[in-house]
């Protein structure tokens, strides 16, 4: 009997459509996590998720690049990509950690010019110092706030749905708080994701254009495309999910799930 009800539930179009928006929670959280973890470690694909990259404007025998994420920073000396958290990091410490060949610890490839011999000390430090300044002053952690509000909003959503399934006339204030919390948090999260995606796209483009257009520029910058795609996809899925919340909290869908079990 339970299997029959379950099959009937999924075959019924209205029930399937009503439950479908919950699937969007997975890619939203996944894209948020990937965007925030960019340049934090050298795990596969993580170093390629960056807001902006910096490289010396002058010609060097070894391609040196610094990539900036929300909470991490990567250094590419043309041989190995190294990443670490840059929160509150000292310029000298971060530089020596990202470019150990420059620090003279013997980890560089002896068959090719080391990054330290190809790029002057001052240029490497300028790259890292500029990257840290960009990370802390231009690209704040607003996206992290959006992710936090979305997570709390999901908790409120399930509590609100549960409250709708078992209404208590003696506690109208609780229902009002859950309803306002659900809509308020999810709307706020979606708005912050949009603002962050727009700011990242615009600011990244401005930094790239200004650094390459100025003839006296000593640093070239390139906007990261992967993180822009992730953020705009997050906004798209979050918008669809938030728009379907009125359907998800209808008592009918909760009762349908109860009838199955």
Please give the helix or strand (H or E) that residue 74 lies within, else none.
strand 72-76
What is the mean pLDDT of the segment spanning 103-123? 50
Return phi, psi of residue 33, to 5°.
Answer: -65, -40
The answer, yes or no, to whether residue 79 has pLDDT greater than 90, is: no
Place of tokens 């250094």: 75
What is the mean pLDDT of the segment spanning 89-106? 74
Candidate ranges 49-53, 114-118, 158-162; pick with highest mean pLDDT: 49-53
CA distance 188 to 153: 9
Residue 115 — pLDDT band, cuts 50, 70, 90? very low
Give the pLDDT of residue 146. Answer: 94
What is the mean pLDDT of the segment spanning 106-126? 55
Higher pLDDT, 78 or 230: 230
pTM: 0.78
CA distance 128 to 125: 5
Q: What is the 3-class SS of 125-148, one letter each residue?
A: HHHHHHHHHHHHHHCCCHHHHHHH
């Amino acid at each position: 009997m339970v299997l029959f009800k379950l099959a009937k539930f999924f075959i019924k179009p209205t029930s399937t459509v009503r439950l479908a928006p919950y699937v969007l929670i997975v890619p939203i959280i996944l894209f948020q996590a990937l965007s925030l973890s960019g340049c934090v470690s050298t795990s596969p694909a993580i170093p390629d998720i960056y807001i902006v990259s910096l490289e010396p404007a002058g010609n060097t025998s070894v391609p040196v690049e610094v990539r900036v994420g929300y909470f991490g920073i990567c250094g590419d000396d043309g041989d190995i990509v190294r990443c670490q958290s840059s929160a509150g990091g000292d310029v000298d410490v971060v530089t020596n950690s990202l470019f150990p060949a420059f620090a003279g610890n013997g980890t560089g490839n002896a068959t090719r010019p080391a990054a330290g011999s190809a790029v002057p000390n001052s240029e490497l430090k300028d790259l890292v110092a500029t990257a840290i300044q960009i990370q802390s002053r231009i690209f704040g952690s607003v996206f992290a706030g959006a992710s936090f509000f979305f997570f709390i909003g999901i908790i409120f959503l399930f509590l609100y749905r549960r409250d709708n399934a078992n209404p208590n006339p003696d506690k109208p204030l609780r229902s009002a708080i859950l309803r306002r919390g659900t809509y308020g948090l999810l709307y706020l999260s979606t708005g912050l994701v949009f603002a962050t995606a727009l700011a990242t796209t615009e600011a990244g483009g401005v930094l790239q254009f200004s650094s390459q257009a100025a003839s006296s520029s000593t640093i070239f910058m390139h906007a990261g495309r992967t993180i822009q795609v992730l953020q705009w996809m997050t906004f798209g899925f979050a918008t669809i999910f938030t728009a379907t919340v009125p359907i998800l909290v209808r008592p009918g869908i909760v009762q349908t799930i109860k009838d199955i079990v």
